[in-house]
Amino acid sequence: MTCADVERLVDAFADAELPAPTMLAVARHAAGCTACDESVRGLQALHDSVARVVRDELDALDLSDVWSAVAAAADHVDARRSWSRRARAVPAAVAALAVAAAAVFWLQGVRVVPTRVASIGPPLARRTLPNQAFIDRLAGKDLKLRREPRSGTTIIWVNAASGGFGR
Amino acid sequence: MAPSDWELVLRTRKGDRDAFRELVERYQRRVASLAVGMLRNREDALDVVQETFTRAYQHLDRFKGDSGFYTWLYRIAFNLCVDQQRREGKLGELRPEQEETGEIGPPLAADGPPPDEPFQRARSAEIGRRVEQAIRELTPDHRAVILLREVEGLSYEEISRVLDCPKGTVMSRLHYARRQLQSRLRELL
């Protein structure tokens, strides 16, 4: 171990960051070398001065209110979290409700439709009145038909040129 | 036996506010030490301490427990200190040539009272003032390394985690910061 080696390693030596054998080698060298010993002591003095200055300043600092301030801020954090949780929960609830409603309607549809068909019978459009069928057969030749849905009557127009009778 | 930091973190996550109070009381002094060393202003330092713990509470789920809780706290505190200084325009960076050449200006003159008994207290105060001044003249990165090592006693590995830089960078910054302080305080130490 030379003075140049110690100069290179002195910081790590002062911080006890060297492997044990290297620590021992530096310590042995410094014990017999005034310059290297002074270098090590200088770092120790610097450490003491910096630590003392900061600790003096720290002692003048009143930390008694830190917790109350942090607790108040933590309350705000919790309140924000609670709101955001609710905000996230609302769309999920709406989606769940929609799915449930769709499921209910679907199930109702499956159950109700056959019973309705069974109770009502054949569709209304297929049901024709007896005289209506006769009128329909005549339509398109010398007759024109106009149905009046409000009164439920059918107006029949007869082509006079063909020698038939009028309205 | 006192619960470990990790146990307190887990309890806090489950809503135990007393567990977080214990963490605050356990580490508020250490965080304050870094803040006061970085900012040199008690009011700002107190703000940083409170904000550090508030952020820690807010983002506690991000702490995975793979490093010390206090290194995680220091990291939050350091970033807040840098932000604070940036806001106030106090981020005094060294010129690049200073960093390269290692020229750090003339040392302060030793013009304090002699170390005789009646002047001992005054001299001690004078040394404190000059050390404080010398620390303040370091860049934030160098100042943080000095404070974390000399005051907090963190290992190089822990400092590298706090400052998010390689261990080699910690060593070189520490070496440089110490030489700068020694040069400034040559006549006093």
pLDDT at B111: 43
CA distance A14 to A85: 52
Which residues have C-beta within 8 Å of that of residue B22, sequence separation ≥ 6? B3, B8
Which of A46, A49, A54 is the closest to B37 by Cβ? A54
CA distance A68 to A29: 53
Which of A12, A61, A70 is the closest to B50 by Cβ? A70
Which of A11, A52, A58 is the closest to B171 by Cβ? A11
**CB atoms closer than 10 angstroms to residue A25:** 17
Tell me which DSSP letter residue A144 carries: E
pLDDT at A41: 93
CA distance B156 to A154: 105
User: Mutate which of B123, B135, B151, B179 to test chain A, going by most A C-beta atoms within 10 A?
Assistant: B151
Domains and CATH numbers, chain B: 5-87 (1.10.1740.10), 96-184 (1.10.10.10)
* Contact predicate B69/B23, CB 8 Å: yes
Q: Which residue of A has its CA nearest to B52?
A: A70
**With an 8 Å Cβ cutoff, are A15 and B33 in contact?**
no
Tell me which DSSP letter residue A149 carries: T
Measured in angstroms, the CA of A26 and the nearest CA of chain B are apart by 17
pLDDT at B91: 53
DSSP string, B113-169: PPSSGGGHHHHHHHHHHHHHHHHHTS-HHHHHHHIIIIIT---HHHHHHHHTS-HHH
DSSP string, B48-94: HHHHHHHHHHHTGGG--SSS-HHHHHHHHHHHHHHHHHHHTT---PP
With a pLDDT cut of 70, the percent of chain B lying above it is 83
Asked whether this complex has an ipTM greater than 0.95, the answer is: no
pTM of the model: 0.67
**With an 8 Å Cβ cutoff, are A57 and B40 in contact?**
yes
Element (H, E) at B39: helix B17-39
Averaged confidence pLDDT in chain B? 84
CB < 8 Å to A12, chain B: 156, 171
CA distance A52 to B188: 14
Tens-digit pLDDT profile for residues A138-150: 666 666 777 777 7
**With an 8 Å Cβ cutoff, are A66 and B24 in contact?**
yes
Question: Which of A115-119, B2-6, B141-145 shows the lowest per-residue confidence on average (mean pLDDT)?
Answer: A115-119
Which residues have C-beta within 8 Å of that of residue A166, sequence separation ≥ 6? A158, A160
Measured in angstroms, the CA of A34 and the nearest CA of chain B are apart by 17
Within a 13 Å sphere around the CA of B61, how many CA atoms are in the beta-carbon half? 4
pLDDT at B92: 46
Q: Per the structure block, which two tokens stand in for B54? A: 């508030």
CA distance A45 to B134: 15
pLDDT at B96: 39
Which of B46, B132, B189 is the closest to A53 by Cβ? B132
CA angle B151, B124, B150 (to 5 degrees): 10
pLDDT at A42: 92
**With an 8 Å Cβ cutoff, are A77 and B174 in contact?**
no
pLDDT at B6 over 80: yes
- First-to-last alpha carbon distance for chain B, in angstroms, is 42
pLDDT at A127: 58
Tens-digit pLDDT profile for residues B43-98: 999 999 999 999 999 999 989 888 889 999 999 999 999 998 888 775 544 333 34
pLDDT at B50: 96
**With an 8 Å Cβ cutoff, are A12 and B171 in contact?**
yes
Tell me which DSSP letter residue A122 carries: S
Handedness of CA A14, A18, A19, A25 (dihedral sign): negative
- Cβ-based contacts under 8 A for chains A and B: 101
pLDDT at A96 over 90: no
**With an 8 Å Cβ cutoff, are B149 and A15 in contact?**
yes
